[in-house]
Each structure stands twice: as structure tokens, then as C-alpha cells.
Amino acid sequence: MSGQWLQVFFEPLDVLLFRDHRPFDAGLQFRARTRLPFPTTFVGCLRTALFRLLGADFSLRGKGDYFGVTEDWARPFLGGAHEPPKFEFHGPLLARRSARGASSAAGPLELFFPPPADLRAPRGNPSRILRLDFEAPPSGGENAGEIGRYRWNGVAMEPVNPTRKSPWLHQETSAKTELLDGFLTYRGAEWWRTGGDTAGWQTDFLKSRRELFQVEERTGIARDDTLTVMEGMFYVAQMLRFAEGTGFAGAIKTETHEQTQLVKRLNGRVAPLGGKNRRAKISVLEGSAELLPREWFIPPHGNQTHRVWLLTPAMGTVDAAALSAGYRCLGAVTERAIAAGGFDYAHGAPKPLWPIVGAGSILHVVNDGSPSTKPPTHINDPSPPPGLDRYGEPGQLGYGWAVWQSTKGGTR
């Protein structure tokens, strides 16, 4: 059979914690910040649950590559202790069951998208939307051809202090505006993708964050190996409490009938997610397909400049991500790079740290008259740090899922 996409929905059964890369004993009065999870969190959740369906014994770590799984069709699909999985994953996106009280495999999902960083609202007036526009890069003088750093002057983006580095704009936006406190609905995402005018913005394009989840803070204290309290090592951990019926949606691609049936067996299963002893219920939706239309991920023909909206975090830097797609970055609206890492239990060692460009970031790119013959659905650094190759190709794992929008009015 040809490849088949199956949609999966993760519904939290507890408050969840998705920590940054620092340990709880990182220092005095440490704050363990939470964030929306990276794609590999769900890839790992799915792999673990699928391995368990096949009777895997994780105590065999170090004694066998596949934890006792003997099925030949399953080994390449799931990978092993020293081999990445071969399945492709799209997501995650925040989602909610559109029909409350529906059975685990019934009813479509209502999807919510990270707010594009080029949209801002005047403080106290979220019904009005401003879009950050890019001016053309310098065209003359000794800095001609270099990427410029941009700032928001209250009306448009303007280049300042030309540099060879891509711009990071979060600290230069107007103090009278703020990022959108919520997530775009499907209609809002379609409005952005088609280059909708800000005058056409509607309030139902945005769903308030508080309607989807709340952030709670809990205080603890670190202990050493003898369970002795360590003086001054208080920490604050942030937890996410999701509204009823709200969770995360993704899609996994299978290549054989056996793989498809294995994934479908996950329906109704409970799996670890979001911290020790925390769980989520997995639903596999009937009549599954890709989460979003393919045309969302193809640059329009006849345009040389584009805005790219990251639905999931991209691995690397904005320059490297754009170059991986065959484009040159003219500017970006994004937060500071996020450090990603974690602990590799299969190898008993910390994972290498690498930079992440956050979901919702906007890249302004140009193809310089050489359009890609096969535009990518994902953009990531083509040369990740050494040691990351054992975890799989970033785009295959869901990183750098990017929506393309034609930029109207030349380079604006």
C-alpha cells in the first residue's frame, strides 16, 4: 500500500510540565519554565506506546537494539536504541474536540495555530491588528547586499545598523503594541496565509490562550542523592492545565498495512506525557488524513519574496533554515533562539544542545530568481550539531513545519 496519514489526538489527563533544558538544581532560586512541547516529545510518546504494544522490554537497554521486538516490519518503522524511527510526523498543534462528549474516535478536531510574530495588537485593544512590514534592504553604499537589522518604527519595519546576521526584532517593537495573547483559529490561519488585509481581521480569528490552557506555578526544593535538602535550592515549576477536551493534534505516516493497524491499536490507550507520572489519552481518528492542506506549504508562483510562518519550531538559526529551503533570509520576526537538549536514556548521556527558532516566528525570504523545483514543507538547519543524526532528520520528526505566504507589494 502507499503511505497513509493517521491523525492522533493527545488529551492530557493531568497538568503537564514541558521544561526547558536546564535541570532543577541549576542554581539558587531556579525557575523551571515551561513551554509548549517540541515535536520530538510526541514522537517519543508514540514510539514508546507502539513499542509497548509489541511487548518491548525496556530493561533490555544495552542488551539489544530493539528491546526484544522481533517483528521485521516494525523494526525500521520504530527504529531502535541506536537507530532513528522511519515514520514521518506532522505537528503538534493545539487542538480541541469540536463535539464535546464525543467518543474517542469521533468528530473532527478544531485546530489552533501559534500566533504569527508579525501580528501585533495595540495594548488594550485586541480587536485591532497591526502587521509588521519589512522595508527593502539597503541598495547602495558599502553595505549593499548585506542583510539588515530591522526595527518597528510604529508604522513599518526599517533597516538599522546593517549586519551580516539576521535580525532579531522582539526588543525593537513598539512599546505600545503587544504580541497576540492567544492562538489563531483555522479561519485566522487561512486569512494570514492568503495575505489578508488587516482591515479584514475578525475577532473569531483568535482564540484566547486562557480558553485553551492555564499556567500554574508550584514551588519545590531540590535534594541530593541522599535525599537531603540542599540549602537555598528552591525552584518554581510552571505547569499547564488544559481545558476539557483540549490537547495536541499530530499526524503519523505509515507505509504498510501492519504499521497502520499497529497505530490504530493506540486508540484509547493512555501513555506517559509531560513529566513523571503524568499521562495523556491517545485517540486515533477515523478517516484520517494529513492535518492541513498541502497547498499551505508551497510558495506561490510568480513571486520572489515570501513570508514563512513556522507552525512548529525549526532546528538551527533563521539563516540556516532559509538556506536549507534554497532561499536567502532578508529579515525575521522572532524571539531569541531557544536552547534544546535533554537526556538520552538509550545512551545514558545528555543530548547535545542546539538552537531552536520558536513556533510562530516569521521569516522574510527571497529566492533571487531561482525558485525551488520542490519547495519543502519543513525548513531546518541542514547541518545540525554532531550527534543529532542518531535521532532522525528534523523535518521527518516534525521540526520546521512552515506555511508560505506571498509577500505583496515587492519586498514589503
pLDDT tens figures, 240-294: 999 999 999 999 999 999 999 999 999 999 999 988 889 999 999 977 778 898 8
Amino acid letter, 180:
L
d(CA 110, CA 104): 15
Cell 513545519 belongs to: 401
Question: What is the reported pLDDT for 322?
Answer: 67
Query: Taking a C-beta distance cutoff of 8 angstroms, is the pair 152, 135 a contact?
Result: no
Question: What is the reported pLDDT for 149?
Answer: 46
* Cell output for 239: 505547569
User: 312 falls in which pLDDT band (50, 70, 90)?
Assistant: very high
Question: What is the reported pLDDT for 20?
Answer: 62
Percentage of residues in the chain having pLDDT higher than 70? 65
Question: What is the reported pLDDT for 172?
Answer: 44
Beta bridge partners of 271: 280
Residue 299 has pLDDT above 90, yes or no: no
Residue 171 has pLDDT above 80, yes or no: no
**Between 62 and 301, residue with greater pLDDT:** 301
CA 16 to chain centre: 17
For residue 263, give the H/E element and its range: helix 257-264
Q: Within 13 A of 175's CA, how many CA atoms are on the CB side?
A: 0
User: 9 falls in which pLDDT band (50, 70, 90)?
Assistant: very high
Phi-psi region of 179 (alpha: psi -120 to 50; beta: other; left: phi over 0): beta
- Count, residues in the chain: 412
The stretch 39-68 carries a mean pLDDT of 84
d(CA 252, CA 283): 12
User: 10 falls in which pLDDT band (50, 70, 90)?
Assistant: very high
d(CA 315, CA 227): 37
Question: What is the reported pLDDT for 345?
Answer: 63
Question: What is the reported pLDDT for 139?
Answer: 43
Beta bridge partners of 249: 9, 93
The stretch 130-158 carries a mean pLDDT of 50
**Between 400 and 305, residue with greater pLDDT:** 400
Residue 174 has pLDDT above 70, yes or no: no
Percentage of residues in the chain having pLDDT higher than 90? 29
The stretch 228-247 carries a mean pLDDT of 78
**Between 103 and 333, residue with greater pLDDT:** 333
d(CA 202, CA 115): 14
User: 42 falls in which pLDDT band (50, 70, 90)?
Assistant: very high
Nearest to 158 by CA among 173, 178, 175, 180: 173
Of the chain, the end-to-end C-alpha distance in Å amounts to 46
User: 193 falls in which pLDDT band (50, 70, 90)?
Assistant: very high
User: 358 falls in which pLDDT band (50, 70, 90)?
Assistant: confident
The stretch 71-82 carries a mean pLDDT of 88
For residue 46, give the H/E element and its range: helix 39-53
Q: What rounded mean pLDDT belongs to the chain?
A: 76
**Between 379 and 214, residue with greater pLDDT:** 214
User: 111 falls in which pLDDT band (50, 70, 90)?
Assistant: very high
Residues 6 or more apart whose Cβ sits within 8 Å of residue 226? none
Question: What is the reported pLDDT for 224?
Answer: 64
Residue 208, judged by CB atoms within 10 A of its CB (0-12, 13-18, 19+), counts as exposed
User: 135 falls in which pLDDT band (50, 70, 90)?
Assistant: low
- Give all domains of the chain, ordered by start, each with its CATH number: 4-114+209-284 (3.30.70), 133-172+293-406 (2.60.40.4350)
User: 188 falls in which pLDDT band (50, 70, 90)?
Assistant: very high
